[in-house]
A = this chain, B = another copy of it.
Amino acid sequence: MKIITLLTDFGSFYPAQMKGVILSRLGDKATEITFVDIAHDIPPQDVRAGAFALLSTARYFPAGTIHIAVVDPDVGMDRMGLVVESGGQIFVGPDNGLLLPAARSLGGHGGSPQAPQAYKIAVSQEILGTGQGQASNTFHGRDIFAPVAALLASGKSPASMGPRVRPKDLNFGAARKTDSGFEATVIYVDRFGNLILNMRDVPAFSVSLKGIKLKAVRTYAQARRIEPLITLGSHGFAEIAVNQGNAAEAFRLKAGDRIELEEI
C-alpha cells in the first residue's frame, strides 16, 4: 500500500483532478493507493499557513507516505518543483518553503546524515504524459506534482526526479522577548478561532493581550466558560483561545498579525 496525502488551497474539484491523474497513471497499481486529504482550505496563497498544517500533520504518518502540497502564489514563474525526502517520507510541491518545516521535523538538521534531501523536478515527457505537449501554466499540482507522485508511488526514487538542490526554506520566526513581555506572530487561525503563535512554550509568567489577561492552562477545561487562555497546543505551539468561544473574533486577529503579550 502507498499512502498519498494532499494539502492545497484549492477548495473543491481541483484536488479530485489530481487524484484522477494519479489513479489514471498508476493503472492496475491504483488499487494500492490510499488517499488522505490533509486540507484544501488553506487561506489562498498563504504559504506559511500551509507549511504549518503540513508540519503539524506529517509526523503522524508512517514511513513511505507521499505528501503532495500545493500553495503556490508564484505558479508559472520560474520557481522549481521539488521532491524532498526526509525520515522515510516524501514531499512533492513548489520550492517556496512550503515543504521544508515538515521535512525538517522528520529528519536531522543542518549537515546531519538525516537532513532532508531535496531534488529539483526535471519536467520530462514521462511526467507530462503522452498526447500533452506541455504543463498548464496555472496548475502544476495536476500536471506536474500529481504525475510525479504517481511515479514515486510506482517505485521511482526521489533522486531519479532530478538533480540535488538546496531548497528555499521557511521558518515561522520565533517570538521575541521584549522589555514588557513577548512579541509574537499569529501563524494560523483554526476553525475554533484559536490563534496559533510562533512560540514553542507558554510564558512562565502571567501575560495579557490587548489589556486582557490570558489564563495559562494545561487544558481548556481549566478555564471558565468564555475565559481567554493561553496553552501549549497539541501541535507543539502556544495557542491563544477563548474557552468555548472564538479568540480570533474576540481579539480581532488573523493569520499574519503581530501581537504583544504583556507581562502582568
Q: Is A198 an interface residue (CB 8 A)?
A: no
For chain A residues 1-43, which have a beta carbon within 8 Å of chain B?
1, 3, 5, 7, 9-14, 16-17, 19-21, 23-24, 27, 30-42
Are A20 and B45 interface neighbours, CB within 8 A? no
Q: Nearest-CB distance from A28 to chain B (Å)? A: 8
Taking the full assembly, how many copies of this chain does it contain? 3
Are A12 and B191 interface neighbours, CB within 8 A? yes
Q: Is A53 an interface residue (CB 8 A)?
A: yes
In the bound complex, CA of A14 to CA of B36 (Å): 12
In the complex, which residue of chain B has the Cβ closest to the Cβ of A191?
B11
Are A34 and B36 interface neighbours, CB within 8 A? no
Q: Which residues of B contact A138 (CB under 8 A)?
A: 219-220, 231, 233-234
Q: Nearest-CB distance from A211 to chain B (Å)? A: 26
In the complex, which residue of chain B has the Cβ closest to the Cβ of A56?
B13
Q: Is A107 an interface residue (CB 8 A)?
A: no
For chain A residues 195-231, which have a beta carbon within 8 Å of chain B?
218-222, 231
